[in-house]
Chain A
Amino acid sequence: MRSFNLLVAMAASVAAVLFALAGVMLSYEVVARYFFSSPTIWAAELSQLCLIWGSFLGMSWLLAEQRHIRVDAVAFLLPERLRRCLDAFAMVVVALFAVIVAVWGFDIFFDSFSRGRTTGSLLNLPSWIAELSIPVGFMLLFAQALIETLRAWKGLHKQASVHEV
């Protein structure tokens, strides 16, 4: 359990690094294009991969930290016991969604992998590199949602906090 928490937290750190990395790569691309007239073929594509992997790696940690966006207005009016049940139910919904997406996402990945499909872009990377992020990310989310279901049931949820654009 503790090692799983660590895994999820590490995945989130990797996500943060990937996003910053995308910024560095794209800056390099603009500078290379304007000042040295030698655009890269890898910057746009690799930063896109950073965005895909970063998002799916980060989402489980956001669930644990209660940082996903949700509608809190009505639930706060409810008595404590009922709210706990609803919170647990909400996490069951997330778990169900996650496991279905993970399973079908694995199909997409496995299909590309076994056929050796490629992106057909400049770098022509194997398609599965991006697609693998779905089963990996959503299996993590599935496990995290089960943990959160238990926590919610026992009332051990972390307190929600606010952020956003």
Chain B
Amino acid sequence: MTVLIILGSLFGLLLMRVPVAFALGTVGLAMLLIGGFSPLMAPQSMLSTLDGFILLAVPLFLLMSNVLLKGGVGQDLFAAVQAWVGHWPGGLAVATILSCGVFAAISGSSVATAATIGTVAIPEMISRGYDRRFVYGLLAAGGTLGILIPPSIPMIVYGFVTEESVISLFLAGVGPGLLLITLFIGFSMIYARYWGGFVDQPAADWATRKATSKRALPSVGLAMLIIGGIYAGAFTPTEAAAIGFSAAVVITALVLRTLTWRGFKEACVESMITTVAILLIIGGAKIFGKAIALYRIPQDISTFLSQAIDTPLVFILAVTVVLLLMGLVFEALSMVLIMTPVLLPAAMNMGFDPIWFGIYMVIMVECALITPPVGLNLYVIQSVAKAPLGEVAHGVLMFLWLMFITVAVLYVWPDLALYIPFKL
């Protein structure tokens, strides 16, 4: 009963458009006051959240990808990949996915990935006669690679709230990320073969390949530096983000000479907005999390679930349905923050690895990002392409299925995620 009242008031506040951060904080605070606990816990939780070194990686990764975005790195990257694979069947689509994959290795955000690559790829593909819906779907879905392939802001947040290693999470994202890229590319080539009807591109000559690759090289090098550095233990994710930010400024301002002072300022302001929005939600979720823990709610739910559900498969299916439904109306990170403390104890009872569960959550978040009516990547593509939301939403359907396949493979074969961090 208490559970229903608490969840009811939380969802009530959320649907009345109280910002997520303050809705979580308010319900948590109310629970503390009603339960006779000290409200001092509210400011304390907020403060202790922001005192986490790992969360410093959030603004820094955002700064890095926004600087690269303003510096027009997406253009160079896409041009280079296109020069190499553009003449394949569905070549532009393949180039788009590969560019998303490479940019995902620099950026921790799916919106930044969709926006960066979308700005260049969408006009190019449409002028070549690709079906609009397919193009929008491809970009919205391809953008979500940004949070599965490290670095990844949702993984940082998941690692922070569960106290799991962010490095392990990053490494665990690589396998499923590559699988998803393969599926996207495979689908694009099949699509081109059977439903194409667009103009194929001639193969680029070697001079073009060399010239475009040269411009894309610094960004690819940056991606390697970050993943390699984290993997080798040379620096923490936060330090990698800081180095990435400085390197991004050097690359775009001094090497490519594409970053203007105005662009830099815009990148800083955009990063600040997203950072503050995210970190406050984490702070609010911390108050909420503390309050429900004091009421022993996660344990109750865990007990209830383990009595009602007896096999891991049924558990995952049930959770998947719940997360998909939530994903229809919820923004991605809020979903992770509300559901992780509630579900993880039960999942671990069922024998799921917490790192595995984190990767599973991230893929579910990717689905939430592209399911209407609320899917941020849909909005991004809508505004980049100036297209009706309906067309974008229709286009992502096929790609949603490919994500389900990835989840299924991940369930049957957990090593897809866990091999690289733990067995390599």
A residues sitting closer than 8 Å to B (CB atoms) are: 12-13, 15-17, 19-20, 22-27, 29-30, 34, 44, 47-48, 51-52, 54-56, 58-59, 62-63, 65, 67-75, 86-87, 89-90, 93-94, 96-98, 100-101, 104-105, 107-108, 130-131, 133-134, 138, 162-165
Contacts and interface: CB of A to CB of B under 8 A. Distances in A.
Contact of B276 (A26, A55, A72): A55
Contact of B334 (A65, A69, A101, A130): A69
B117 interface: no
Contacts, number: 218
A104 B40 contact: yes
B53 A86 contact: no
Contact of B19 (A30, A70, A105): A70
18 contacts: A12-B272, A15-B276, A19-B60, A20-B245, A24-B242, A26-B238, A27-B243, A34-B234, A52-B51, A55-B50, A58-B272, A67-B273, A71-B14, A97-B29, A101-B25, A101-B46, A105-B43, A105-B46
B331 A69 contact: yes
A51 B42 contact: no
Contacts of A138: 43
Contact of B22 (A25, A75, A93): A93
B403 interface: no
Contacts of B334: 69, 71
Contact of A164 (B63, B246, B274): B274
Interface of B: 13-23, 25-26, 29, 39-40, 42-44, 46-47, 50-51, 53, 55-56, 59-60, 62-63, 108-112, 146-147, 153-154, 234-235, 238-239, 241-243, 245-246, 268-281, 283, 328-334, 373-374, 376, 379-380, 383
Given A71-B15, A93-B18, A100-B39, A23 B245 contact: yes
Given A19-B275, A93-B18, A105-B43, A71 B268 contact: no
Contacts of B280: 55, 59, 68
Contact of B17 (A25, A48, A70): A70
Contacts of B243: 26-27, 30
Nearest to B13: A93
Contacts of A134: 43, 46-47
Contact of A108 (B21, B44, B271): B44
Give the 5 A-B residue pairs with the shortest CB-CB distance, closest first.
Answer: A26-B242, A68-B19, A105-B43, A16-B272, A58-B276
B51 A48 contact: yes
Given A26-B242, A27-B246, A75-B17, A62 B50 contact: no
Given A29-B242, A44-B53, A51-B55, 16 more contacts: A12-B272, A19-B275, A23-B246, A30-B243, A47-B56, A51-B50, A52-B47, A67-B277, A69-B278, A71-B14, A71-B15, A71-B374, A97-B22, A134-B46, A163-B376, A164-B277
